[in-house]
Amino acid sequence: MTTIDATSPFAPPAGDPPVNYLTATRGLRSWLFTIDHKRIAVMYLVSILTAFLLGGIFALLVRTELWTPGRTIVDADRYNQFFTLHGAIMIFLVLIPGTPAALGNFVLPIMLGAKDLAFPRLNLLSYYLWVAGAVLAVVAIALGSVDTGWTFYVPYSTTTSMGGVVPILTGVLMLGFSSIFTGLNFIVTIHKLRPPGMGWFRMPLLLWSLYATAIMQILATPVLAITLLLLIVERLLQLGIFQPGLGGDPLLYQHFFWFYSHPAVYIMILPAMGVISEIVPVFSRKHIFGYDFIAMSSIAIAMFSFFVWGHHMFVSGQSTLVATIFSLLTYSVSIPSAVKVFNWLATLRGGSISLRTPMLYALAFICLFGLGGLTGLFLGALAANVHLHGTYFIVAHFHYVMMGSALVAMLGGIHYWWPKITGRLYSERWGQLAFVFVFIGFNLTFFPQFLMGTHGMPRRYYNYPPEFQLLNQMSTVGSYLLAVGFVIMAVYLLHSVFAGRPAPANPWGGATLEWRCASPPPTHNFDSPPPVGDPYDYRDLVYNPRSAGYVSAARPAP
Amino acid sequence: MNALLPNLLAQATSLPSIAPEGGSAWMPPQASGHAAEVDAVFYFIYWVSVFFFVLIVALMVYFVLRYRRRVEGELPRLHSSHSLALEVTWTIIPLILVIVMFYVGFRGFMDLANPPGQAMDIYVTGQKWLWTFKYPNGHDDTELHVPIDTPVRLILASNDVIHSFYIPAFRIKKDAVPGRYNKMWFRPTRTGEYLALCSEFCGTQHSDMRARVVVHEPGLYEKWLTDVSDPFKTHTPAEVGALLVSRRCSGCHTVDGRAHVGPTFRGIFGHEVGIKGQPSVIVDENYIRESILTPSAKIVAGFENVMPTFKGQLKDQEITAIIEYLKTLSKSPEERSP
Amino acid sequence: MSTLKPTGQPPAAEHSAHLQHQFDNPRQQFDAAVQGMWLFLATEILLFAGLFCVYAVYRANHPEIFYYAHVYLSKPLGALNTAILLCSSFTMATGVWAAQRRRQKLLAAMLVLTFLGACGFLTVKYAEYKHKWEEGLGWGQHYHPKHIAPGFAAHEAEEHGRSLPSPASAPASAATSAPASAPTATLATDAVSLAFEPRSLGPQGLAPSGRVPAQLNPEQEVRNVQTFFAIYFALTGLHGVHVIAGMAVILWLLARTLLGHFAAGYYTPVELGGLYWHLVDIIWIYLFPLLYLIH
């Protein structure tokens, strides 16, 4: 039904199946109106990485401005817009959709041996809602921008004169629905499209984490939707629910906002943990340790995440009783995360460990999430939180868990599934080089910020007391190293698409079902559903040096 | 990580150092009775975290090196993939540790939440972008002065958006939320000067919204309060005006001729200024009074309508003092009194 | 939420025209669609839950506002709307039943009736909104009631044996409010002008620093009544938007029915549309007593 375009960079080498999902149909319309989950995932990936570039530019502008205490390159209002847009773009356009949309969409159906998600057209709608959100963010920038911080606290957000507030709130509303529909799709797919033989406890752990994430997306995001809707109406029509001058309660806004935004951070980290649970066993060639516990910990994190939102509000004036309860519950959510870290370490023990680029990112995740998660313990302790809230300690903490963990895992996943998605291998050496820049740059950027915070520098500060300058400069240098790492990464990844070595079906020796189909897969994924086995049993995969990939071998008789 | 390295680097680069004497590696000097407990909570969690972080990284590095794959396709030696004993251990031990962390954090917080009966009340009002303090005798000031070893209760209010009042040296912080009063207390234990900052984003000059905090030796606080409550006893009106302008107006107005958020005061008295949307006026006593009480009535052309009103915050005597001071800024050097 | 299950026979071959490639059989596809729809309904419930939460918080903190203001709402009209929606849910459920049995004429008729019910609901709603607006019962700054709550004066006299305060005794703390319009003048028997000062403290927030505001005395005045109307319009407005969306869905289903899409045993869209309409109904069932029937 299709012609093969031999000149396309995605055309498979001779011997492979004649067409794959990239070459099956041509033309812009075949992409814009596709219902193939793999094409939608690729569109998400390109779009999300573009948004990451934009958010990253704002980050560099922020860090450049902070090179000196007073004005360095821009005035205060402009600076306030930069950090607001950086935060909003990174959270809503990059990290929340991130792994589920760009990677999960691609991998989830194939891991289930299915031909697509349960609702392919809803999937495309999710993507277009993302695009609408992104367009509205750009419109917001053009219409006078936003300076409220990504948290939009009332009454500042209802009274600021900047013109971009309502557009960006509407954009985030669109993004919320994109997230809800993706979650809905994943839940039904996992419930209804599992193959015979794949009970819940035979699913790859990535699917457990995507499932738990989807539950959170369904339950938490609508609360964000109503909050944003009320905020828009409050600002446009002066409704009077949140503004004290009209009889409203600004703290009610905070409760609503954080009721979503706390689970949101777990929406960002759980899929990332799922990716790590896939990469670590493959690159140790050893069965994941504690499968049941890792799976259950994902569900536990999803549940507990709904009970802790008040820890963002310990100094807001909420009652001591309520603060105490939230502090206690906050600690409960740290335990399942710790369980995962220990299980990953136990997986490494006695394995056959290969330090390819995906594994480098996975190992970095374990360190950086270890640090980021541990710093959360400081913030859960009421007495310490009073001193640390609203300071750079918080900024450092969330960058360690959002960037150093969630984003790093997404990068690891991108490198892990790159051969499957594009059919090409990138240069391992350049991958390792970029990793070094990213790892060192990241730590240099954010570790000094812990010190800045404990010594009393508040966040969202354009102008800071001069004794913080040295630490700020270290942080700025680090951010430029990070930028270099990402530029290198962009170059070698793009290069691989056009001139990389063709990838075998299973370059890393994974045992999950996506490694059984060709790289890249055909549009319908599998001709017939593959047999389901243990997703972490690597014993009958042998390395074939000629194709530089792994193939299934019959298990020798015991 | 110790603050020693930043100090050395600071010396090498001639930049100010973050760790003045009296602080610890991670914390500023302890200047309130509460600070020691907060630091204890912090360092407890810190050392537990250091232990686990080192453990995790060391184990990881060890495993990666010891079990490094030598040949592609090589299978591992060990095959264990579950252990209930391990799972229980590494669930229970962290659980116990975090419960302890919760408890010590909670105890410190309860101290902060319950002021002793005899605390001195000071009302703190945040507005964009200035903190003002009202003392028990009714005096309003832009600096927080307190006597050492006396419990002080701060009652926080806001006139516009949410601000947050933060004194790092005292380890205290509370939001100032419009429409309600929030309270917190402290007992200063160390004389000296400290910094109070706004730690909830509130707009353009959020990072300039700071206040000086002074802890006085016994007896000196009362003296300061008396002096400052009635500066007219010891100063001419113009001098008092100069003080008021530097404390209340200098955030937006300069006295050296530069335009800032608002017009400069130098040379303005007696001059004609253009008014947005209205005929121009001569800046006289009435215009200055009107600008202080109803700033939006006549905006000088070329400036924005952002000046807050000072109605209820400046007494008539103080407005007169400001007017007198502005007059001096228009006189030639010979005319000004020595 | 249809209690009528699909007919027990396995789906016939003519359904396979609608069978999407990722599903093995039409039954699996139908089940997946229904599960998906329930998940979507869960998100809608959570959306409204936010507003119900706003209601709960304000009612817990300021019961006097709700006690006073709900009297402005018309119970008969609210009850009429409740009856209309209940009937329309019945007609919708009958429509689904008809679709399961391939009875297209009945399905079309039921869809039309449901649509008409929705129109009736919106008409009543419009009348209520118009009345509120004319009476000055809006949210925030739009609250300047022309009359005291109907029946409230008599209700007060009967329940508490007291008459309403005259404007002269309006509390001195009204002076701490920001520029609020002064209460209007005299008390008459039938159409009394409002003696209360319903506005909140003004945009300055608290009283000038140093003075704690006088305690609110509900005997003398009810402040921030506009909050009730903010919640009223938010809740009924969001619900109304969902009714309009539901009407669009019904029209679309009607079009597909007339085009014969549901002639061959495939009726999933009707099932899903029915579920949505029942949700819209249920939300109103909760909303009505909370807003109209407080005592």
A184 contacts C36? CB cut-off 8 A: yes
Q: How many structural domains comprise chain A?
A: 1
* Helix ranges restricted to H, C147-267: 152-160, 226-258
B132 contacts C209? CB cut-off 8 A: yes
Kindly state whether B239 is in contact with chain C, defined as any CB-CB distance less than 8 angstroms. no
C209 contacts B134? CB cut-off 8 A: yes
Please say if the pLDDT value at position B113 is more than 90: no
B173 contacts A375? CB cut-off 8 A: no
Mean pLDDT of B298-319: 90
Chain B residues within 8 A of C204 when measuring between CB atoms: 159
Q: Exposure of A130 by Cβ count < 10 A (0-12 exposed, 13-18 middle, 19+ buried)?
A: buried
Alpha-carbon gap: C129 to the closest alpha carbon of chain B (Å)? 30
| pLDDT given at position B227 | 81
Residues in CB range of C133: below 8 A, 6 or more apart: none
Kindly state whether C168 is in contact with chain A, defined as any CB-CB distance less than 8 angstroms. no
Pull the structure tokens for residue B334.
């010979």
Chain B residues within 8 A of A385 when measuring between CB atoms: 105
* Model pLDDT for residues B136-177, shown as the tens digit of each residue: 988 889 999 999 999 999 999 999 999 999 999 999 999 999
Chain C residues within 8 A of A122 when measuring between CB atoms: 36
Mean pLDDT of A231-243: 93
Q: Which candidate from C22, C44, C140 shows the least CB-CB separation from A246?
A: C140
* A14 within a domain of the structure (yes/no): no
Q: Of B68, B102, B305, which to mutate for an interface test with A (greatest number of A Cβ within 10 Å)? A: B102
B99 contacts A386? CB cut-off 8 A: no
Mean pLDDT of B67-76: 90
B16 contacts A353? CB cut-off 8 A: no
Using DSSP bridges, classify how beta strands B140-141 and B130-134 pair: parallel, antiparallel or unpaired: antiparallel
Cite the beta strand spans of A41-98 per DSSP E: none
Pull the structure tokens for residue B289.
């009074």
CB A108 within 8 Å of CB A102: no
For residue B156, what is the nearest residue in chain C, using CA coordinates? C209
Distance between CA atoms of residues A133 and A176, nearest Å? 9
Distances (CA, A) of C247 to C79, C112, C244, C280: 21, 10, 5, 11
Q: Which of the four CATH numbers 1.20.272.10, 3.90.1300.10, 1.20.120.80, 1.10.1740.110 does domain C26-138+226-292 have?
A: 1.20.120.80
Please say if the pLDDT value at position A28 is more than 60: yes
DSSP 8-state secondary structure symbol assigned to residue C102: T
For residue C262, give the amino acid letter. F
C205 contacts B157? CB cut-off 8 A: yes
Q: Name the more confident of C149 and A264.
A: A264
Kindly state whether B18 is in contact with chain A, defined as any CB-CB distance less than 8 angstroms. yes
Mean pLDDT of B282-288: 93
Chain A residues within 8 A of B162 when measuring between CB atoms: 153-156, 250
Domain with A64 in it: 28-552
Q: Which candidate from A147, A351, A366 shows the least CB-CB separation from B76?
A: A351
Distance between CA atoms of residues A285 and A423, nearest Å? 22
B206 contacts A317? CB cut-off 8 A: no
- pTM for this predicted structure: 0.85
Q: Which candidate from B132, B159, B312 shows the least CB-CB separation from C205?
A: B159
Kindly state whether B109 is in contact with chain C, defined as any CB-CB distance less than 8 angstroms. no
For residue A493, give the amino acid letter. L
Please say if the pLDDT value at position A380 is more than 90: yes
| pLDDT given at position A346 | 96
Kindly state whether C226 is in contact with chain A, defined as any CB-CB distance less than 8 angstroms. yes
Lowest mean pLDDT among A336-340, A545-549, B30-34: A545-549
A185 contacts C42? CB cut-off 8 A: no
Backbone angles phi, psi at B197, to 5 degrees: -130, 155
A386 contacts B38? CB cut-off 8 A: yes
Kindly state whether A456 is in contact with chain B, defined as any CB-CB distance less than 8 angstroms. yes
C46 contacts A249? CB cut-off 8 A: no
Please say if the pLDDT value at position A419 is more than 90: yes
B172 contacts A153? CB cut-off 8 A: no
Residue A6: strand, helix, or coil? coil
In chain C, DSSP finds a helix count (H) and a strand count (E) of: 7, 0
DSSP 8-state secondary structure symbol assigned to residue B12: H
Neighbours of chain A (3+ CB pairs under 8 A): B, C
Q: Of C39, C58, C68, C197, which to mutate for an interface test with A (greatest number of A Cβ within 10 Å)? A: C39
Alpha-carbon gap: A152 to the closest alpha carbon of chain B (Å)? 10
Going residue by residue through chain C (295 aa), what tens digit of pLDDT does each one get? 444 344 444 444 445 678 888 898 999 999 999 999 999 999 999 999 999 999 999 999 888 788 878 888 888 999 999 999 999 999 999 999 999 999 999 999 999 999 999 999 999 999 999 999 988 888 888 888 777 666 555 544 554 454 444 333 333 333 333 333 333 222 222 233 333 333 332 222 332 222 223 333 434 457 788 889 999 999 999 999 999 999 999 999 999 999 999 988 899 999 999 999 999 999 999 999 999 987 6
CATH 1.20.120.80 placement within chain C: 26-138+226-292
Q: What angle do CA A311, A317, A322 make, to 5 degrees?
A: 50
Q: What domains appear along chain B, each with residue ranges and CATH number?
A: 19-69+80-113 (1.10.287.90), 120-229 (2.60.40.420), 231-330 (1.10.760.10)
Distance between CA atoms of residues C219 and C205, nearest Å? 23
| pLDDT given at position A8 | 55
Lowest mean pLDDT among A37-51, A69-83, B245-259, C277-291: B245-259
Lowest mean pLDDT among A225-229, A420-424, C1-5, C23-27: C1-5
Lowest mean pLDDT among B113-122, B186-195, B231-240: B231-240
Helix A357-380 and helix A428-454: axis angle, to 10°?
10
* A253 within a domain of the structure (yes/no): yes
Of A481, A411, A402, A406, which is closest to residue A441 (Cα–Cα)? A481
Q: Of A153, A289, A387, A451, which to mutate for an interface test with B (greatest number of B Cβ within 10 Å)? A: A387
For residue A456, what is the nearest residue in chain B, using CA coordinates? B168
By residue count, chain A amounts to: 558
CATH of the domain at A473: 1.20.210.10
Kindly state whether B281 is in contact with chain A, defined as any CB-CB distance less than 8 angstroms. no
CB A505 within 8 Å of CB A549: yes
Alpha-carbon gap: B185 to the closest alpha carbon of chain A (Å)? 13
CB A260 within 8 Å of CB A346: no
C21 contacts A115? CB cut-off 8 A: yes
* A19 within a domain of the structure (yes/no): no
Query: Which residues are paired to B121 by β-bridges?
Result: B153
DSSP 8-state secondary structure symbol assigned to residue C293: S
Q: Name the more confident of A143 and A61.
A: A61
Neighbours of chain B (3+ CB pairs under 8 A): A, C
Of C183, C258, C249, which is closest to residue C222 (Cα–Cα)? C183
CB A108 within 8 Å of CB A189: yes
* A87 within a domain of the structure (yes/no): yes
* A38 within a domain of the structure (yes/no): yes
Backbone angles phi, psi at B188, to 5 degrees: -70, 140
Q: State the DSSP H helix or E strand holding residue A501, giving kind and residue range, or none if neither.
A: strand A501-502
C206 contacts B159? CB cut-off 8 A: yes
| pLDDT given at position B149 | 94
Of A285, A308, A252, A421, which is closest to residue A354 (Cα–Cα)? A285
Residue A522: strand, helix, or coil? coil
* pLDDT band at residue B3 under the 50/70/90 scheme: low
DSSP A291-331: HHHHHHHHHHHHHHGGG-GGGG-TTTT--HHHHHHHHHHHH
Distance between CA atoms of residues A215 and A103, nearest Å? 18
Distance between CA atoms of residues C276 and C253, nearest Å? 13
* A557 within a domain of the structure (yes/no): no
The pLDDT mean for chain B works out to 89
Residue A219: strand, helix, or coil? helix
* A17 within a domain of the structure (yes/no): no
Chain A residues within 8 A of B6 when measuring between CB atoms: 448, 451, 470-471
Q: Which candidate from A355, A371, A467 shows the least CB-CB separation from B16?
A: A467
Alpha-carbon gap: A237 to the closest alpha carbon of chain B (Å)? 19
* A12 within a domain of the structure (yes/no): no
